[in-house]
Amino acid sequence: MPTAHTVIGIYNGALDMITSRPTYLGEDRVELRWLNRNYATYVQSTLRKDLWNFATELHELNQGADPAYRWAHSYDLPNGWLRVIPPTYSGYRDGQPMPYEVKSNRLLTDTSENCRVELIMDRQDPGEWDPLFASLIIARLANGMAHAFTHKASFVQLTKQAMDDAYDDASTINAFESPHERAEQHDILRVRGRSW
């Protein structure tokens, strides 16, 4: 779902939360330098934390050189991947889990069949984000810079609450738009042998 968000719009949103001054970002502003230094890291860590639908892609991986030991095969992960959603033999989230390990930019496993996986990809362009995710990044950036630029605990608390609320909203809607995961996929239920 493309949006009208831009990086400068995200920056301005974060600044709006911590200051009452006009939020025009001139080149000499210390806030702009902070945002430029931290933006990519905040976005990547937030993307990696959850299974954000807008950042998820389906991939059939190419087989690479066989590992030296422990696993029989390796598959090359594409440029821009941030997280591997646990793969299954069928490629569907509710399929039989496939044992695997991620090392560097490779997925190691014993399967020699087509390796189909879902990946969370690095989406730095806010125009590609879900609008609720944009609100979460705005709140996270504001919280990260609140103390340094306001020196007031009240702004840290305010932005922390905004961040928590934005995460709840974004993750709830994201969950509604995700495939249903069968209960027996959860380890604790599998160990107890319980399913429904």
Contacts of 71 (CB under 8 A, 6+ apart): 101, 108, 109, 110
Q: What is the mean pLDDT of the chain?
A: 86
pLDDT in tens, 117-164: 999 999 999 999 999 999 999 999 999 999 888 888 888 999 999 999
Element (H, E) at 109: strand 106-109
Q: How far is CA 48 from CA 93, 122, 153, 172, in A?
A: 17, 9, 28, 17
pLDDT in tens, 95-124: 889 899 999 899 999 988 778 899 999 999
Comparing C-alpha atoms, which of 58, 178, 175, 74 is closest to residue 119? 58
What pLDDT sits at residue 179? 65
- Domain residue spans of the chain: 7-50+130-176, 56-123
What pLDDT sits at residue 151? 86
Confidence of residue 91 (pLDDT cuts 50, 70, 90): confident
Backbone angles phi, psi at 84, to 5 degrees: -95, 120
In the sheet that holds 106-109, the strands lie side by side as 81-85, 115-121, 56-63, 73-76, 106-109, 101-103
3-state SS, residue 96: coil
Confidence of residue 93 (pLDDT cuts 50, 70, 90): confident
